[in-house]
Copies of this chain bind each other. A is one copy, B any other.
Amino acid sequence: MHVSEIDTPALVVDLDIMERNLARVAGYAREHGLRLRPHTKTHKSVRLARRQIASGAAGLTVAKVSEAETMLGAEPDDVLVAYPIIGPTKLARLTQVARQTRVTVALDSAYAAGQLSDAARAGQVEIGVLAEVDAGLGRVGVNPGEPLLELARTIEKLPHLRFAGIAFYPGHIKSVDETGRRALAQLSEFLRGILDDFRAAGIEIAIVSGGSTPTLFHSHEIQGLTEIRPGTYVFNDLNTIGSGACALEDCAATILATVVSTARPGQMIIDGGSKTFSSDRLANPAEVTFGHVVEAPGARFHKMNEEHGFIDLAHAEAGFRVGDRVHVIPNHICVAVNLHEKVYGLRGDTVEEVWPVDARGKLQ
């Protein structure tokens, strides 16, 4: 199948770029002795999870129990659910997953730990737990010092749980510029303090799990870190470029779209909007735009409705007619992938494979 036979809008991936991305991060992790546990939320695909494992990943990360269930298809040795799992239905399902592979959960409350322990006991499994600490994002995670130690002690005491270490997500570091370098140094200080606290308290920490896309290739500078969980690197997107963690030529995934209207001079409408790209804005927007048109980088994708993308052509390098097709790199590939049933993998202009987005819409 030739790329021209793909109906639009469609998510297409340049396999050469994707394979280079996989190899680069696996090589980086190996070089620096960091365990690589990729977050599968980006691709939601069993096939790509298998490739990540084949290229050196020591396990997988997921955000939802349903994603963990799906990712069992990739036969991982180890799954980290990097999200507090709350509620009896999800917990019962999680123990089923834990019968098939080693499961670790990151959580930040005694409530979540207690419920997990009860479920693990009922399901006759052991589940690893990482105590989530807030490294500055202010999302999930307890404060360091006594709150974190108390959470760790609670986990240690609960039956059927195995206290495995700590987890954090430095989402407050948007790029490794001068400010970002200072924040990275502070993060090392922060972790050193935590490790000292735990040493003093006589609690062993096996895993320090953290990192983010902007800090990905600086993970080895975060002292104490043992494990990284990157997701976006498999495809990359405009946000990754904006964070400095990749270049334009590292973006493997684009939305292939068709021009459906040029009725208004200086503008074209493409057949994808918020139901195709998502309405995620750029993380660090100079202005509101929704994607980069590969065929005309000067075109401005400035507005969208559900099925309409508005492209301003005032500064475009090319003219377009109804029926023309363009490739658009989205702002945020993780939310875009979740809107598609399948992905076309291209080798040059040939569709080499098509894979389903297995965990698409798996919300529970």
Nearest B-chain residue to A151, judged by Cβ: B263
Assembled-state Cα–Cα distance A7/B90 (Å): 8
A201-217: which have CB < 8 Å to B?
Answer: none
The reply to whether A278 and B274 contact each other, CB–CB distance below 8 Å, is yes
The reply to whether B364 and A260 contact each other, CB–CB distance below 8 Å, is no
The reply to whether A274 and B280 contact each other, CB–CB distance below 8 Å, is yes
- Per-residue B-contact encoding for A265-284, CB less than 8 Å = 1, 0 else: 00101011011101111000
Give the A interface residue count (CB, 8 A): 64
The reply to whether B306 and A260 contact each other, CB–CB distance below 8 Å, is no
A41 contacts B by Cβ under 8 Å: yes
**A109: contacting residue among B261, B267, B279, B335, CB under 8 A:** B261
Assembled-state Cα–Cα distance A145/B9 (Å): 32
Assembled-state Cα–Cα distance A272/B63 (Å): 11
A59-95: which have CB < 8 Å to B?
Answer: 63-64, 83-84, 86-87, 89-90
User: Whole-angstrom distance from the CB of A116 to the nearest CB of chain B?
Assistant: 12
Nearest B-chain residue to A169, judged by Cβ: B305
Given A280-B274, A280-B279 in contact, is the A108-B261 Cβ separation under 8 Å? yes
- Per-residue B-contact encoding for A139-171, CB less than 8 Å = 1, 0 else: 111110000000000000000000000000001
Residues on the B chain within 8 Å of A339, using CB: 338-339, 361, 363
Interchain residue pairs A-B with the least CB separation, the first 8? A140-B261, A111-B322, A7-B364, A7-B89, A84-B260, A108-B263, A63-B307, A279-B280
Chain A interface residues (CB < 8 Å from chain B): 5, 7-10, 41, 63-64, 83-84, 86-87, 89-90, 108-109, 111-112, 115, 132, 134, 138-143, 171, 258-264, 267, 269, 271-272, 274-276, 278-281, 305-308, 310, 321-323, 334-335, 338-341, 360-361, 363-364
If A139-B261, A140-B260, A279-B281 are given as contacts, then 19 extra A-B residue pairs at C-beta distance below 8 Å, sorted by A number, are A41-B306, A63-B306, A64-B307, A111-B323, A112-B322, A115-B323, A134-B264, A139-B305, A143-B263, A171-B305, A274-B278, A275-B338, A278-B278, A279-B279, A306-B334, A306-B335, A338-B339, A339-B361, A339-B363
